[in-house]
Amino acid sequence: MAIRAALILVAVEALAGTTGKWVDSSAKDFGAGEFQNVAVRSSGRVFLAPLKTQLFKGEAAWVWRVAQGKDVLWVATGDKGVIYKVTSKGTVVAFTPTEKADREPFALTVDREGNAIVAYSTSGNVYRVPTRGEAKLLFKAGQRYVWDMLVASDGCFILATGDEGKVLKVSHDGKIQEILDADDAHVLSLAEGKDGTIYAGSGENGLLYAIGRDGPRVLYDAAESEIRALAWDGLGNLYFSTAGGETRRRGMPSMRAVGPRPEAAPAPPSATPQQQQAGAAPAATPQLDMMPMLPLFPMPQIQGANSLYVLKPSGDVRRVATRERTAFLSLAFWEGHIYVGTGNEGFVFRLEEDDSLSAVGKLAENQVTVLAATADGLAIGTANPGRVYLLSGDGPSEGSLVSRTYDCQFVAHWGRLYWAGEFPLGTEAEFSVRTGNTETPGAGWSDWKKCGYGARIECPPGRFIQYRATLRSSKPPVTPYLSEVTVFYATANQPPIVKDLSFSKDKAGDKPSQPGRRAAGPERGFSGKLRISWSAEDPNGDQLSYSLWLRGEGEKREVELVRSSRDTSYTLDTESIPDGRYVLRLVASDEGSNPAIEALKGERVSDPVLIDNTPPKVTDIKFTRRTRGGQFSCTIQDELSTLTGAEYSLDSKGWKPLQPADGIFDSREESAVFAIEELEPGQHILAIRAVDDCDNTGAGKLVFGIE
């Protein structure tokens, strides 16, 4: 009978400072940790998974292909193109190519005798590497790239090639027949159906082809740019996965330049993966050829999403799973499940009956280039560096998950640890915790200390914390399931931080703007309604309240405008206070989230702000008669603000701009001299108005006559 350790609501013992909690409960949370013989379902449940052991560890930068021979596991590696033979007695080099162009064995399969058949890019050479004896060149494909290869049911070789996008069939006597000329430059993956139909996935446009007796036809056009892998399950369903992301455009494949097209001997790629890691620029080439970008490692950041699809026997295609920023690089069917290898996360997923993905492994190498079912389990090939691991079907009796490190932001004191899950009879979970003050565990971190369910964590205070969950079963394959982990902690209260205190005109209270040129004066002031806005944050995430104070510049007495409000703005009617310069002080408090004795405040004091509601004065308006008109002069003054414009109007016949004597409105006092021609006899009224930097408008007039 299953025993469920439920997460219960508890009264947390009082801890000094602000109490917080860290909860891991999703596949994303648990997936950020490190696995050892455990897996994570997409629902967020951690359970015991197949055992993982290392089969191959050579000097290769990556492993391209793995294939099961007779009592032998063949491993094709790059970038020197060495083929290894792994047996129960150890690992030996089976073949080292001598041609410089035989660098990347992207394609590897076995013939009916269990010999390795390996195809090299960029030469297109295809070799037979026997279990015993010397390797032999079988034929030249005549294509620069051979991405995939299989031995068909009739014994012929089928090759997926680039950069001309062809699928080739090579007979026993070496005769080469073209059975597909794809629209794309590269055909990347192959599979054969029970009826002999060949299925092929392309790059650039993500097309799935079927090549039958009547010739090729397109079965599906994927949203993503590269169909990277194909695999049959045991029910006649063909699964295919993508790696290019949903970024394709017709005629613009997700490609990367790798070097010039060879004339006689093929040239190496323009930059090796080691050079890419070191940041070295690729060698300049006069003519660039293009290839799918994902086989080159380290991989660039993956844009968009990639998907796993299934082609049903009925011909229907369904998208089974999608994952952002992940390339589905490899597929295999093993023990009743489809497995998926990814980059750049290094996950190996298992497709469950409900179409969810369970992470059965997470590798430090980050790119799972190949998956292959073997006699002993599921072989996993990786890149950077090249390794081969084996998942065995035997259920482990113990596995562990080491969590990501959690950042409490400040030095924390530790509360209690709880977890939830399902634990059948004969299974259990054991937890240990360690703490430190660096993001990466190392020197200065505490040792692992066991912690029981609901027990206080007995570790030194620290900013970072990490847990290790060990799952055990005395009756494999019966497994425990862990679904949630909660850690309570408390940090010392930190004062709020006022980030901004700003001013703007309240549009609802704006005075109508007057025509005239505005010039930036020494100080921008305000009149009418002044909107005061602020923003603040609390390092502990506490709820904040605000108080706002106003005082005259040089004065000590403050006037409280706002008290303990959660609003983040206030409108001040400046006409209710005398003109002058004022200073505002904003105080943010976390008193609503802390006891009074522990509550803290943060504040910000503004620069002086000018309040001016008094209009400019237009004085000393004078008129001097001229032969056909008159000359006028005036003086404009403002007590506090810079003048920004002036206009005049004669007999209410419209306003005309008035320029100061020096041509620039840039001070609090200006003089102006201007002329009006063709004045008719009689009485006239001259009006002059001026505006200051606070949008205050003042006016003056002169009544004069012409005889």
pLDDT at res. 512: 44
Could you count the other beta carbons within 10 Å of the beta carbon of residue 71? Answer: 10
Same domain (yes/no): 419, 283: no
Give the pLDDT score at 247: 53
For residue 553, how far is the Cα from the chain centroid?
Answer: 49
pLDDT above 60 (res 3)? no
What are the tens digits of pLDDT across the range 463-485?
999 999 999 999 888 999 999 99
Q: What CATH number did the domain enclosing 633 receive?
A: 2.60.40.650
Token couple for 681: 């006899």
pLDDT tens-place string over residues 133-143:
899 999 999 99
Q: Once rounded to an integer, what is the mean pLDDT over residues 188-201?
A: 96
Per-residue model confidence (pLDDT) at position 292: 52
Q: Please provide the average confidence, as pLDDT, over all residues in the chain.
A: 86
Q: Are β-strands 327-334 and 337-343 bridged in parallel, bridged antiparallel, or unpaired?
A: antiparallel
* CATH number where 207 lies: 2.130.10.10
Tell me if 49 is assigned to some domain. Answer: no
pLDDT greater at residue 340 or residue 593? 340
Same domain, 607 and 641: no
The pLDDT-based confidence of 17 (bands split at 50, 70, 90) is: low
Integer Cα distance of 348 and 387 in angstroms: 14
Q: Which two tokens stand for residue 695?
A: 């949008």
User: Tokens 């094709």 belong to which residue?
Assistant: 76
Question: Domain check: are 631 and 600 in the same one?
Answer: no
Q: Same structural domain for residues 421 and 542?
A: no
Q: In which order are the strands placed within the sheet that holds 227-232?
A: 227-232, 238-242, 305-311, 317-324
| Token output for 31 | 């997936």
How is 129-143 classified by DSSP, letter by letter?
Answer: E-SSS--EEEEE-SS
| Inter-residue contact 127 to 161 (CB < 8 Å) | no
Query: Which bin fits 414, alpha (ψ -120 to 50), beta or left (φ > 0)?
Result: beta
Q: How far apart are CA 236 and CA 163, in angstroms?
A: 31
Taking only the tens place, the pLDDT of each residue in 199-252 is 999 998 999 999 999 999 999 999 998 999 999 999 999 999 999 876 544 433
75-105 tens-digit pLDDT? 999 888 999 999 988 899 999 998 988 989 9
Q: How confident is the model at residue 257 (pLDDT cuts 50, 70, 90)?
A: very low
Say yes or no: 575 and 603 in one domain: yes
Expressed as residue numbers, the domain containing 199 is 60-341
Q: Does residue 459 carry a pLDDT above 70?
A: yes
Confidence label for 524 from pLDDT (cuts 50, 70 and 90):
low
- For residues 530-557, one letter each, b for 16 or more C-beta atoms within 10 angstroms of the residue's C-beta and e for the rest, the string is bbbebebebbbebebbbbbbbebeeeee
Q: Is position 302 within any domain?
A: yes
Asked if 528 and 615 touch (Cβ cutoff 8 Å), the reply is no
Statement to judge: residues 514 and 480 lie in one domain: no
The pLDDT of residue 500 is 94
The sheet with strand 215-221 has its strands ordered as 187-192, 198-202, 207-212, 215-221
**Of 628, 642, 648, 650, the residue nearest 691 (C-alpha):** 642
pLDDT the model gives residue 300: 58
Instruction: Determine, yes or no, domain membership for 202.
Output: yes
Query: What pLDDT, on a 0 to 100 scale, did the predictor assign at position 517?
Result: 39
What are the tens digits of pLDDT across the range 35-80? 888 989 888 999 998 878 889 998 888 999 999 999 899 999 988 8
Question: Do 229 and 324 reside in the same domain of the chain?
Answer: yes
What per-residue confidence (pLDDT) applies to 523? 52
Please, are residues 298 and 336 in contact by the beta-carbon 8 Å criterion?
no
In a domain, 421, yes or no: yes
Q: Does residue 290 have a pLDDT over 60?
A: no
More confident residue, 394 or 205: 205
What pLDDT is recorded for position 255? 32
Q: Which of 596, 611, 626 is the last residue of a domain?
A: 611
- Which helix (H) or strand (E) element contains residue 29? helix 27-31
Give the domain-ending residue among 326, 341, 356: 341
- Is the domain of 461 the same as that of 501? no
Q: Is 176 in the same domain as 237?
A: yes
Count of domains forming the chain: 4
Write the CB contacts of 591 (distance below 8 Å, at least 6 apart in sequence): 545, 564, 599
Residue 259 has pLDDT above 60, yes or no: no
Greatest alpha-carbon pair distance for the chain in Å reads 128
477 and 508 housed in the same domain: no
Determine, yes or no, domain membership for 305: yes
Residue 204 lies in a domain: yes
Cα–Cα distance, 349 to 639 (Å, whole number): 76
393 domain residue, yes or no: no
Q: DSSP labels for 618-646? A: EEEEEEEE-SSEEEEEEEEE-SSS-EEEE
State how beta strands 525-526 and 609-611 pair.
Answer: parallel
Same domain, 83 and 230: yes
**What mean pLDDT comes out for the span 411-430?**
96
Give domain status of residue 363, yes or no.
no
Question: Which whole-number Å values give the CA distances from 259 to 122, 253, 286, 538, in the listed order?
Answer: 10, 17, 9, 54
DSSP for 89-131, please give it: TEEEEEE---STTEEEEEEEEE-TTS-EEEEEEET-EEEEE-S
pLDDT of 506 > 50? The answer is: yes
Residue 173 tokens read as 């006597």
What is the reported pLDDT for 557? 94
Task: Give the C-alpha separation, 45 to 60, whole Å.
Answer: 35
- What is the share, in percent, of the chain residues with pLDDT greater than 90? 68
Q: Which residues pair with 472 in a beta bridge?
A: 398, 428
- CATH code of residue 443: 2.60.120
Helix (H) or strand (E) run with residue 227 in it: strand 227-232
Last residue of a domain, one of 491, 526, 544: 491
Q: What single DSSP character describes residue 186?
A: B
Asked if 184 and 303 sit in the same domain, the reply is yes
Q: 547-578, pLDDT tens digit by residue?
A: 999 999 999 999 999 999 999 999 999 999 99
Buried b (16+ CB within 10 A) or exposed e, 376-408: ebbbbbbbbbbbbbbbeeebbbebbbbbebbeb
